[in-house]
Structure 1
Amino acid sequence: MKKNKKIFIVPRNDLEAVEIINLLSHSGEKVVVSQQRWGARWENLEPEVVSEVETLLAQNPNVEVVGVEIAGAPRWDGRNIDHHRWSDSDRSHESSSLEQVADLLGVTLSRYLRQVAENDKGWIPALVKAGATAGEIGYIRLTDRCSQGVTPDDEAEAVRAIALAVWVGKRVIVTTTLSSFQLSPISDRVYGQADEWLVKAANAWLYNGPRHTELFGWVKSSSLGSDRDWSGGSPAFGYAGFVNPSKELQSKIEKFFVEG
């Protein structure tokens, strides 16, 4: 039996996370799964996750705790594997978390897993650039949405919201009752029709387009508030999200978006 030197904590909240869990498990690594959605944080780990980790550490105090895409300060002297920017730390990395885990394990990714990695780094544009077929892109995106917990009702709401969207040239503003965890069916449908889009969701605002780094940096340097913010994607095209942005921040973001 393999003696584990690491304990991996992975929130299962999208396709990349599912495949990281599969890869680690098939490699004989110890994985503790959190059910937190996007924006998972160390301080919000579930009691059962904390209990399992502490039991494992009591059995072997010398193992290293590794959190995969968990924001905040690591617990148990652990470390992070990530490639996102969070409100309290910039963990940008040229490799996706899946690729970093594969490198750590010394594993070569299959074509499918390389596509999962590209999807997480740069979404549909990255998949196109990597040579994925239309069928492969459709499969990856559908599987990712399912892994995020998107339901048929969410898909229907995305269609309704897009039908009522406001267009400003090649930009579009979509208002929806969906939460920040359910916006992929909107983005997947708008892609190819708009150059950039702003989604006003039930609990967050999400920008997608080539100016994500500029917007995220500007908000971070300002005194305008949101409960939490995050950003990712490739330099050429990505996203920036803001949970419960203040009215003043909403106004500034909309002006930024419309005026270019």
Structure 2
Amino acid sequence: MTRWCFLLGGGDLEMTTIRALVAATLGEEAIRDRGLTWGARLSDYAEDLGVLPPETVPVLVELALDIEPPPGAVVIDHHNEDSGSDRPTSLEQVFALLGLPPSAWTRAFALVAANDRGHVPALRALGASAEEIEAIRRADRQAQGITPAEERDGETATARRRPALDGAVTLVDLPHARTATVTDRLATLDPPPEAVLIRSPTEVNFFGPGPAVRALDAALPGGWHGGDLPRAGFWGRGEPLPETEALLAILADPLAKKG
């Protein structure tokens, strides 16, 4: 039997679910968890990699490969080139790696996977109730470590949103990078905006139609993207932060075509 060691990436509901699944299947000794946030890197586990027992296979869960992975390591991810509606989520990949039977795949797992793949629209497509959606999104924000103060900032930023490109995109200025405090609130609107651009002090994030995500990634490489592509997804990047007008110029054509 293969001896796995799971090195966990940035915290969110999917990551906490993966942690619980691995612990229940293999025990806590099969987990290395440094409590990282989004943007976690393999180098964050350099010390752990140096002391793994012989013949242990590292499983790198949503870690940016900023250093060379150990020979034979298994990479688990659902971002950038590994993202899309036709790719299994990280939770689904871990479930398969553990060799668990289909009967062990619960509705709770299905909700977590849908949430990770496509946020609220994917949960609705799965038939989730309003109560299930609210519970999943609340649990995800808690798993990310979002504070009450950040929630209040998100509420204020959402209330101050403004339209651009003749209403094709919603602009939001947020004083931190906890974008779920905005996107979760916008998802409750009737109808919710189809394209959202959120500026924070350290990064900029877009959520919307797949063609717009692809256009941003092509014009401004070096960031991150994922979601339920090619239908819809997200894109973001940190420094150097592009100007809002430059981003809107990139978005104008794909959003106009969608309309």
Q: Same fold (TM over 0.5)?
A: yes
Q: 1:65 aligns with which of 58, 61, 75?
A: 58
Query: Where does residue 38 of structure 2 map in the other structure?
Result: 38
| TM-aligned CA deviation for residue 133 of structure 1 | 0.8
The one of 118, 134, 138 aligned to 2:134: 138
For residues 209 and 216 of structure 1, what CA distance do their matches in structure 2 show?
7
Distance apart, 1:241 and its partner CA = 0.7
Q: How many residues align?
A: 239
Residue aligned with 2:113, SS: helix
- Counterpart amino acid of residue 236 in structure 2: G
Contact 2:6 2:58 in 1 (8 A): yes
Give the aligned partner of residue 232 of structure 1: 226
Superposed, 1:103-142 pairs within 5 Å as 103-107=96-100, 108-142=104-138
Instruction: Tell me if structure 2 keeps the 8 A contact 1:205–1:244.
Output: no
1:87-113 C-alpha deviation (Å, 9 max, x unpaired): xxx223621100111111122221111
The alignment partner of 1:27 has SS state of: helix
| Residue type of the alignment partner of 1:238 | G
Query: Which residue matches 2:249?
Result: 255
- Secondary structure at 1:67 match in 2: strand
Contact 2:42 2:63 in 1 (8 A): yes
Give the direction of change, closer, same or farther, for the CA distance of 1:230–1:40 in structure 2 (3 Å limit).
same
Aligned to 2:24: 26
Unaligned residue ranges in structure 1 (runs of 5+): none
Question: Which amino acid is the alignment partner of residue 60 of structure 2?
Answer: G
| 1:99 and 2:84 matched | no
Match of residue 153 from structure 2: 157
Q: Distance in 1 between matches of 2:228 and 2:116?
A: 9
How far did 1:216 drift? 4.5
Task: Show the counterpart of 1:244.
Answer: 239
Residue of structure 1 equivalent to 2:194: 195
Q: CA deviation at 1:244?
A: 2.2
Contact 1:204 1:242 (8 Å CA) reproduced: yes
Using structure 2 for the length normalisation, give the TM-score: 0.84
CA shift digits 1:38-67 (9 cap, x unpaired): 121213x1xxx433332223xx2x221110
Judged with a 3 Å threshold, the aligned counterparts in structure 2 of structure 1 residues 74 and 66 are, in CA distance, closer, same or farther, namely farther
SS in 1 for 2:105: coil
The one-letter code matched in structure 1 to 2:33 is V
TM-score w.r.t. the length of structure 1 is 0.84
Residues 76-130 of structure 1, C-alpha deviations (whole Å, 9 max, x = no match): 2223111110xxxx22362110011111112222111110111001111111001
Q: CA RMSD in A?
A: 2.1
Q: CA deviation at 1:237?
A: 1.9
Name the structure 2 match of 1:79: 74
Question: Any idea what the Cα deviations from partners look like across 1:176-218, whole Å, max 9, x if unmatched?
Answer: 1112xx110100011243121100112111100113xx34444
- Name 1:10's counterpart in structure 2: 8
Runs of 4+ deviating beyond 6 Å: none
Letter in 1 for 2:137: R
Structure 2: distance between partners of 1:221 and 1:126 = 25
Determine the C-alpha separation between the residues in 2 that align with 1:4 and 1:247: 46
CA contact (8 A) 1:74 1:80 kept: no
Q: Equivalent residue for 2:205? A: 206
- Percent identity between matched residues is 28
CA 247–123 in structure 1, closer or farther in 2 if over 3 Å, else same: closer
Q: Is the 8 A contact 1:207 1:241 kept in 2?
A: yes
Which letter maps to 1:99?
E
User: Aligned-pair distance for 1:219?
Assistant: 4.2
Letter of the 1:38 counterpart = W
What corresponds to 2:182 in structure 1? 186
